[in-house]
């Protein structure tokens, strides 16, 4: 029976055989076309039929290599930079021979001093994306990789002599106020804006004058990490602080040309670091980078210190899942020694009510 399509749920599947000159040459099929329309499903059947007939007449085509898969992948500049050493290591290997274990083994070779989290983020994830993109486009083998477990993470931390996933202290109101007293108006407004709105540093430094709606107390933050561009509400005091800053045109470090005017005057998401270290030293407070000072501090302040429910806090900070910030950002602030001391504390007990004993009647 030639290939036929049928619908399962919202997706069309194909079943049957591929035939050539009346003879079955490939099958039997019972496979998803991954198409939600009948037209898309028929396109898949046509492509698969041509591929199998060509294979039957000409023979197997040379296996696609990782380098071939790279040419099919539309990589961002950041991902392209991460993929360069990976291509040098496994570019000549056919996709069918690349296993999950092989991808995970690239970490110690390419970045021996990095953590397993870095290996996953900068090696395994981009390489997996390339391979699975080729699977979607050309039908090459799919790959699934199990994350590094805690034992692998601990062993790598021991080898490199450095802990990963170190708990970072979030900012509180006292830290923010001390920072602002020692800072210039631009950096004071920047840290207050991130602490109040949970904006990421790249969203904050990208603000332009047109991103402010003073009459509505609204600020436009750009799309980032899967979240679309949005207008967020700020306090009237925050808006006044933003409007008081004369916009600055930062210089592009690579081209040397002046960029568009920005609210905080920074041209990149890392330009603030040196200045903030100086401010923290002057204020006599520990240095915090933008994330613990802003987004991290925002959630801890609302949930832990002010008792706002996590769902409301997550929505205000533009997290799609409240479990994520609860797991990463909500730090308990009770000292461990205090917890232990509670087991040694003698609780004050109320004196039992003294009731007069009833006198037994003597038998006469």
Q: Which domain holds residue 284?
A: 173-328
Quick one: pLDDT at residue 304? 81
Give the domain CATH number at 311.
1.10.443.10
Domain shared by 189 and 228, yes or no: yes
Domain shared by 21 and 141, yes or no: no
Quick one: pLDDT at residue 332? 54
Domain shared by 235 and 308, yes or no: yes
Residue 339 lies in a domain: no
Reference 285, options 167, 166, 181; nearest CA is 181
Number of separate domains in the chain? 3
Q: Of 110, 133, 160, at which residue does a domain stop?
A: 160
Domain shared by 178 and 95, yes or no: no
Domain shared by 218 and 308, yes or no: yes
Quick one: three-class SS letters along 299-322?
Answer: HHHHHHHCCCCHHHHHHHCCCCCC
Integer CA distances (angstroms), 14 to 34, 35, 54, 244, in order: 10, 10, 20, 64
Domain shared by 210 and 315, yes or no: yes
Quick one: pLDDT at residue 256? 83
pLDDT by 10-residue block (mean), the chain, 364 residues: 86 89 84 88 87 76 85 91 95 91 95 95 96 88 92 94 83 93 95 93 94 94 83 94 94 87 92 94 94 88 84 84 74 55 56 52 47
Residue 228 lies in a domain: yes
Residue 287 lies in a domain: yes
Domain shared by 93 and 234, yes or no: no
How far apart CA 338 and CA 281 sit, in angstroms, is 30
Residue 167 lies in a domain: no
Quick one: pLDDT at residue 364? 43
DSSP, res 9? T
Q: Of 160, 183, 200, at which residue does a domain stop?
A: 160
- The answer to whether 1 and 16 are in contact (CB under 8 A) is yes
Quick one: pLDDT at residue 337? 60
Residue 344 lies in a domain: no
Question: Beta-carbon neighbour count of residue 3 at 10 Å?
Answer: 24
Quick one: pLDDT at residue 59? 67
Domain shared by 298 and 223, yes or no: yes
Quick one: pLDDT at residue 321? 82
Reference 197, options 331, 325, 298, 315; nearest CA is 298
Domain shared by 105 and 136, yes or no: yes
How many residues does this entry show for the chain?
364
Domain shared by 248 and 276, yes or no: yes
Record the pTM. 0.63
Quick one: pLDDT at residue 320? 80
Phi, psi torsion values for 325, nearest 5 degrees:
-65, -30
Domain shared by 248 and 113, yes or no: no
Residue 356 lies in a domain: no
- With a CB cutoff of 8 Å and minimum separation 6, the contacts of 158 are none
How far apart CA 262 and CA 203 sit, in angstroms, is 11
Residue 317 lies in a domain: yes
Domain shared by 217 and 279, yes or no: yes
Residue 351 lies in a domain: no
**Helices and strands per DSSP (H, E), number in the chain:** 17, 6
């Amino acid at each position: 029976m030639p290939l036929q399509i049928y619908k399962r749920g919202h997706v069309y599947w194909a079943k049957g055989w591929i035939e050539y000159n009346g003879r079955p040459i490939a099958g039997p099929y019972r496979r998803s076309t991954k198409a939600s329309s009948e037209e898309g499903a028929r396109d898949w059947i046509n492509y698969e039929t041509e591929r199998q007939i060509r294979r039957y007449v000409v023979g197997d085509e040379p296996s696609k290599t990782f380098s071939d898969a790279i040419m099919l992948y539309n990589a961002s500049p950041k991902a392209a930079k991460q993929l360069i050493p990976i291509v040098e290591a496994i570019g000549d290997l056919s996709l069918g021979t690349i296993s999950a274990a092989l991808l995970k083994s690239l970490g110690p070779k390419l970045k021996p001093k990095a953590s397993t989290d870095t290996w996953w983020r900068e090696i395994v994830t981009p390489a997996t994306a390339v391979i699975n993109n080729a699977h979607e486009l050309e039908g090459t083998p799919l790959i699934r990789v199990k994350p590094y477990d805690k034992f692998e993470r601990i062993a790598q931390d021991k080898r490199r002599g450095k802990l990963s996933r170190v708990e970072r202290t979030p900012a509180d109101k006292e830290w923010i106020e001390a920072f602002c007293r020692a800072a210039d108006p631009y950096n004071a407004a920047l840290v207050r804006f991130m602490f109040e709105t949970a904006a990421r540093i790249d969203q904050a430094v990208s603000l332009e004058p047109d991103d402010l709606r003073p009459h509505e107390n609204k600020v436009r933050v750009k799309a980032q990490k899967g979240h679309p561009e949005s207008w967020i509400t700020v306090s009237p005091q925050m808006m006044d602080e933003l409007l008081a800053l004369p916009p600055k045109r930062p210089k592009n470090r690579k081209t040397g040309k002046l960029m568009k005017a920005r609210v905080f005057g920074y041209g990149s998401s890392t330009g603030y670091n040196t200045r903030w270290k100086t401010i923290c030293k002057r204020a006599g407070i520990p240095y915090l980078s933008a994330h613990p000072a802003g987004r991290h501090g925002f959630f801890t302040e609302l949930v832990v210190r002010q008792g706002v429910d996590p769902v409301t806090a997550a929505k205000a900070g533009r997290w799609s899942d409240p479990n994520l910030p609860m797991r990463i950002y909500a730090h308990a602030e009770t000292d461990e020694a205090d917890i232990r001391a509670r087991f040694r504390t003698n609780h004050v007990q109320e004196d039992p009510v003294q009731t007069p004993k009833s006198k037994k009647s003597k038998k006469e």
